[in-house]
Amino acid sequence: MAEKEPKYKKHIVKTVEAGSIAEEMEIEPGDAILAIDNTPIEDIFDYQFLVQDEYIEVLVEKPDGEQWLLEVDKEFDEDLGLTFENGLMDDYRHCCNKCIFCFIDQMPKGMRETLYFKDDDSRLSFLQGNYVTLTNMSEKDVDRICRYHLSPINISFQTMNPALRCKMLNNRFAGDALKKVDRFFEADITMNGQIVLCKGVNDGKELEFSIKEMMKYIPNLQSVSVVPVGLSKYREGLYPLEPFEKEDAIETLDLIHRYQKLCFEKYGIHFIHASDEWYILAGQEVPEEDRYDGYLQLENGVGMVRLLLNEFHEELDRRKKEGLLPDHELKAEYSLATGRLIFPYIEKMAQELMQYCPGLKLHVYAIRNDFFGERITVSGLLTGQDILAQMKEKEKGSRLYLPCNVLRSGEDVFLDDLHVGDLEKALQVPIYIVKSSGREFVEAFLDD
283 is a domain residue: yes
Say what the pTM is. 0.85
Instruction: State the Cα angle at 105 between 102 and 108, rounded to 5°.
Output: 140
23 and 110 in one domain?
A: no
147 and 245 inside one domain: yes
Q: Is residue 4 part of a domain?
A: no
Please state the φ and ψ torsions of residue 306, each to the nearest 5 degrees. -60, -45
* Domain contains 94: no
DSSP calls for 226-250 = EEEPP--S--TTS-------HHHHH
End residue of a domain, out of 84, 117, 142: 84
Do 25 and 113 fall into the same domain? no
Dihedral sign for Cα 426, 429, 430, 432, please: negative
Per-residue pLDDT of the chain (448 residues; tens, 9 = 90+): 444 556 788 999 999 999 999 999 999 999 999 999 999 998 888 888 899 899 999 999 999 999 999 999 999 989 999 999 887 777 776 778 899 999 888 988 887 777 766 666 556 555 556 788 999 888 988 998 898 888 899 999 999 999 999 999 999 999 999 999 999 999 999 999 999 999 999 999 999 999 999 999 999 999 999 999 999 999 999 999 999 999 999 999 999 999 999 999 999 999 999 999 999 999 999 999 999 999 999 989 999 999 999 999 999 999 989 887 766 667 899 999 999 999 999 999 999 999 988 889 999 999 999 999 999 999 999 999 999 999 999 999 999 999 999 997 778 999 999 999 999 999 999 999 998 899 999 999 888 6
Alpha-carbon distance of 52 to 80, in angstroms, equals 9
Domain-embedded: residue 352: yes
Same domain, 121 and 144: yes
36: domain CATH number is: 2.30.42.10
> 188 and 281 in one domain?
yes
Domain boundary among 255, 281, 299: 299
- On whether residue 121 sits in a domain, the answer given is yes
Same domain as 325, residue 421? yes
Same domain, 124 and 67: no
* Beta strand extents in 198-347 (DSSP E only): 221-228, 272-274, 332-339
pLDDT digits (tens, 9 = 90+) for 107-158: 888 877 777 666 665 565 555 567 889 998 889 889 988 988 888 999 999 9
One domain, residues 118 and 64? no
Beta strands in 133-205 (DSSP E): 153-156, 191-197
**How many domains would you assign to the chain?**
3
Mark residue 414 as left, alpha or beta (left: phi above 0; alpha: psi -120 to 50; beta: remaining).
Answer: beta
Q: Domain range for residue 354?
A: 307-446
- Classify 150 as helix, strand or coil: coil
Give the separation between CA 406 and CA 377, rounded to whole angstroms: 12
Q: Which three-class secondary structure string do you get for 4-33?
A: CCCCCCCEEEEEECCCCHHHHCCCCCCCEE
3-state secondary structure of 83: strand
- CATH (domain of 381): 3.40.50
Residue at a domain's end among 263, 279, 299: 299
What separation in angstroms does the CA of 135 have from each of 221, 227, 360?
19, 21, 53
As beta bridge partners, residue 217 has none
Instruction: Note whether 269 and 360 are same-domain residues.
Output: no
Quick one: CA dihedral 162, 165, 166, 167, positive or negative? Answer: positive
- The answer to whether residue 92 is domain-embedded is no
Task: Say whether both 325 and 439 belong to one domain.
Answer: yes
Cα–Cα distance for residue pair 374/233, rounded to 1 Å: 8
Let me know if 42 is exposed, middle or buried by CB neighbors in 10 A (0-12, 13-18, 19+): middle
CA dihedral angle for residue 117, residue 119, residue 124, residue 130, rounded to 10 degrees: 100
Q: Indicate which CATH number applies to the domain containing 264.
A: 3.80.30
Shared-domain flag, residues 153 and 291: yes
b/e burial code for range 219-245 (CB count within 10 A of at least 16 → b): ebbbbbbbbbbbbbebeeeebebeebe
Same domain, 255 and 328: no
Q: What is the pLDDT of residues 186-217, one digit of tens each?
A: 999 999 999 999 999 999 999 999 999 999 99
Flag whether 89 is in a domain.
no
- Residue 96 inside a domain? The answer is no
Residue 281: alpha-carbon gap to chain centroid: 22
